[in-house]
């Protein structure tokens, strides 16, 4: 656990100072960062993870500060190219601190694989035949992954669903697998493939698709936080945040952007820790549909004291083993900084970051609007893309803010002025 996630003036520090502060707070040595700088993830290493590789692609990696999760302070590693995301998460976490920070929980880490059976003559009877022989099927599946069983995971149940499609009724056999500290896709896919022949023979049909479902609704993580009324800006701000939330709950056009704000936090931690962003995103999409209608993943309400209470519950299929988690040096470093002991701890940290991000975006939208906060970072990006050096960038940022003109053509004309020695 981080000693104290409130690192004073973190955002104004140099990169070197931030490294020292993270090393001090976590008790990890600064060698962790040297390892990232020494090009330890080469294109040759990358070629083991993916195909047609000729290079590696870097992104900004930082930590969100101020988080307390279940009573322990934590630094939250985030990789994102988007301005304001890490600052916003840190700011929201600061507003949750007076009320104890984030409180989290999870289901067991259960992923599901689906086996699709086609050409089944009697689907209802096939369903019961498969259920009658489930112990045998479960044993066969578990035999594929002794390591998983040894660490306490393995198949915990089997369900059979009948899905009426356009031309036939499909019998779908779901293996419910506790994948412990893995994301679990490969583990459950292997099991589904291994048992599919037996299952098809019992059902009296043919097995076609054998793959996990990314609708990981048996692997949910939840976060809850109470955001301090005064730090948020008072009663009116809370009422406006609630109007913003209620619109997201009622209107899919707003809900999509509301949930995108949540995913700004979620995907950044998923990516930083070497996990599969698309699997988590697919889980989020499927979970955002309730009774056939797309809606907000989070909820907000006012408690008896007038503070704002937010909750977020969603599938969180992430791991500490498997995939890129152990292979990518930045992911390894991020996992050390996060100081999580299990995939479940990581999943809960990620959901806390999503809730923080969500609240921060709602607050800005319900008060000053997003552009003001974005201004200086946006101006910096514009200056950088015009090729300005650090000194020129500082001047350009000041001028753009003063003129309230955030246009590339203006950046170029200021840069031309500076370089030709012409003053204003
Ligand atoms: P994996 O197979 O590399 O690692 C999991 C294995 O690690 C387990 O099967 C187990 O044998 C072993 N293990 C050792 N210690 C363990 C512990 N403490 N807890 C759990 N398992 C332990 O990876 P995976 O997690 O099965 O699959 C993840 C990868 O699958 C990701 O790279 C993902 O991108 C990819 N993938 C995703 C999809 C999808 O989401 N639709 C489909 C295919 C593949």
**Residue 205 belongs to a domain with what CATH number?**
3.30.70.420
3 occurs within a structural domain: no
The CATH number that applies at residue 284 is 3.90.770.10
From the candidates 374, 378, 380, 417, give the one annotated as an active-site residue. 374
* Domain termination residue (choose one: 351, 367, 383): 367
Q: Which residues contact 12 (CB under 8 A, 6 or more apart)?
A: none
The contacts found for 379-382 with CB under 8 angstroms, 24 or more apart, are: 379/406, 379/411, 380/83, 381/83, 382/406, 382/407, 382/408, 382/411
Is the same domain home to 391 and 316? no
Distance CA 336, CA 132 (A): 46
344 occurs within a structural domain: yes
Q: How many CB atoms lie within 10 A of CB 53?
A: 13
Is the same domain home to 155 and 169? yes
Work out which ligand 1 atom sits closest to the CA atom of 279. Answer: 40
Return phi, psi of residue 155, to 5°.
-70, 130
Question: Does residue 73 have its Cβ closer than 6 Å to ligand 1?
Answer: no
Tell me how far the alpha carbon of residue 424 lies from the centroid of ligand 1, in angstroms. 60
Is the same domain home to 125 and 256? no
The string of DSSP letters for 359-392 reads HHHHHHHHTT-HHHHHHHHHHHHHHHHTT--HHH
2 occurs within a structural domain: no
From the candidates 260, 326, 378, 380, give the one annotated as an active-site residue. 260
Q: Using the 8-state DSSP alphabet, how is residue 53 labeled?
A: -
Is the same domain home to 200 and 230? no
Residue 346 CB-half CA count within 13 A? 36
Q: Using the 8-state DSSP alphabet, how is residue 60 labeled?
A: -
Distance CA 163, CA 337 (A): 45
Question: Active-site residue 276, yes or no?
Answer: yes
From the candidates 45, 82, 108, 159, give the one annotated as an active-site residue. 82
Distance CA 226, CA 208 (A): 48
Query: Domain range spanning residue 379?
Result: 372-420
Is the same domain home to 263 and 356? yes
Question: Does residue 270 have its Cβ closer than 6 Å to ligand 1?
Answer: no
Work out which ligand 1 atom sits closest to the CA atom of 146. Answer: 11
Work out which ligand 1 atom sits closest to the CA atom of 147. Answer: 11
The CATH number that applies at residue 379 is 1.10.8
Is the same domain home to 363 and 382? no
Distance CA 157, CA 70 (A): 30
Is the same domain home to 158 and 304? no
3-state secondary structure of 57: coil
Question: Does residue 356 have its Cβ closer than 6 Å to ligand 1?
Answer: no
1 occurs within a structural domain: no
Do 162 and 126 contact (CB within 8 A), yes or no?
no
Do 219 and 142 contact (CB within 8 A), yes or no?
no
Mutate-to-test residue for ligand 1 from 111, 177, 179, 322, highest number of ligand atoms within 8 A of CB: 322
Distance CA 361, CA 394 (A): 26
Distance CA 72, CA 19 (A): 21
Is the same domain home to 281 and 392? no
327 occurs within a structural domain: yes
The residue nearest atom 43 of ligand 1, judged by CA position, is: 185
Is the same domain home to 280 and 325? yes
* Domain termination residue (choose one: 159, 190, 212): 212
Residue 96 CB-half CA count within 13 A? 34
* Domain termination residue (choose one: 167, 184, 212): 212
Is the same domain home to 337 and 362? yes
Question: Active-site residue 178, yes or no?
Answer: no
Burial 274-298, CB ≥16 within 10 A → b, else e = bbbbebbbbbbbebbeeeeeebbbb
5 occurs within a structural domain: no
Q: Which residues contact 181 (CB under 8 A, 6 or more apart)?
A: 109, 151, 319, 320, 321, 342, 343
The residue nearest atom 23 of ligand 1, judged by CA position, is: 322
Q: Which two tokens stand for residue 18?
A: 């931030």
Do 389 and 418 contact (CB within 8 A), yes or no?
no
Do 214 and 286 contact (CB within 8 A), yes or no?
yes
Return phi, psi of residue 59, to 5°.
-135, 160
134 occurs within a structural domain: yes
Question: Does residue 279 have its Cβ closer than 6 Å to ligand 1?
Answer: yes
Render each residue's pLDDT in the chain as its tens digit; 424 residues. 777 999 999 999 999 999 999 999 999 988 888 878 867 888 998 998 899 999 999 999 999 999 999 999 999 999 999 989 999 999 999 999 999 999 999 999 999 999 999 999 999 999 999 999 999 999 999 999 999 999 999 999 999 999 999 999 999 999 999 999 999 999 999 999 999 999 999 999 999 999 999 999 999 999 999 999 999 999 999 999 999 999 999 999 999 999 999 999 999 999 999 999 999 999 999 999 999 999 999 999 999 999 999 999 999 999 999 888 888 999 999 999 999 999 999 999 999 999 999 999 999 999 876 666 667 778 888 898 899 998 999 899 889 888 888 889 999 999 999 999 754 4
Question: Active-site residue 285, yes or no?
Answer: no
Is the same domain home to 21 and 88? yes
Do 97 and 68 contact (CB within 8 A), yes or no?
yes
State how many domains the chain has: 3
Distance CA 400, CA 265 (A): 28
Is the same domain home to 16 and 165? no
From the candidates 178, 181, 276, 313, give the one annotated as an active-site residue. 276
């Amino acid at each position: 656990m981080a000693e104290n996630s409130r690192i004073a003036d973190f955002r104004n520090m140099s990169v070197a100072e931030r490294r020292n502060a993270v090393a001090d707070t976590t008790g990890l040595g600064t060698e962790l960062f040297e390892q990232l700088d020494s090009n330890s993830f080469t294109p040759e290493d990358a070629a083991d993870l993916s195909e047609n590789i000729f290079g590696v692609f870097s992104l900004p990696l930082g930590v969100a500060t101020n988080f307390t999760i279940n009573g322990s302070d934590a630094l939250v590693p985030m990789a994102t190219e988007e301005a304001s995301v890490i600052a916003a998460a840190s700011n929201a976490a600061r507003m949750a601190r007076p009320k104890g920070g984030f409180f989290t929980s999870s289901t067991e880490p259960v992923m599901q694989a689906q086996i699709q059976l086609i050409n089944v003559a009697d689907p209802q009877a096939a369903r019961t035949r498969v259920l009658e022989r489930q112990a045998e099927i479960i044993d066969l599946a578990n035999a594929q992954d002794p390591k998983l069983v040894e660490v306490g995971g393995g198949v915990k149940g089997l369900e059979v669903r009948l899905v009426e499609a356009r031309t036939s009724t499909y019998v779908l056999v779901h293996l419910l697998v506790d994948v412990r500290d893995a994301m679990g896709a490969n583990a459950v896919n292997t099991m589904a493939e291994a048992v599919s022949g037996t299952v098809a023979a019992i059902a009296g049909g043919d097995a076609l698709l054998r793959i996990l479902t990314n609708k990981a609704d048996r692997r949910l993580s939840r976060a809850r936080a109470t955001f301090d009324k005064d730090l948020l800006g008072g009663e009116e701000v809370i009422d406006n945040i609630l109007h913003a939330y209620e619109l997201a709950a009622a209107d899919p056009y707003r809900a999509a952007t509301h949930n995108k704000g949540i995913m700004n936090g979620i995907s950044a931690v998923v990516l930083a820790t070497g996990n599969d962003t698309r699997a988590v995103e697919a889980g989020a999409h499927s979970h955002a549909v309730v009774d056939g209608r797309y809606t907000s993943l989070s909820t907000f309400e006012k408690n008896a004291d007038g503070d704002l209470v937010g909750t977020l519950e969603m599938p969180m299929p992430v791991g500490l083993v498997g995939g890129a988690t152990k292979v990518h040096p930045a992911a390894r470093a991020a996992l050390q900084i996060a100081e999580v002991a299990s995939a479940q701890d990581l999943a809960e940290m990620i959901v806390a970051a999503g809730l923080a991000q969500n609240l921060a975006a709602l607050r800005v939208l319900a008060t000053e609007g997003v552009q003001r906060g974005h201004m200086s970072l946006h101006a910096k990006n514009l200056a950088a893309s015009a090729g300005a050096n650090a000194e020129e960038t500082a001047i350009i940022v000041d001028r753009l803010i003063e003129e309230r003109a955030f246009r590339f053509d203006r950046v170029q004309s200021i840069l031309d002025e500076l370089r030709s020695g012409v003053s204003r």
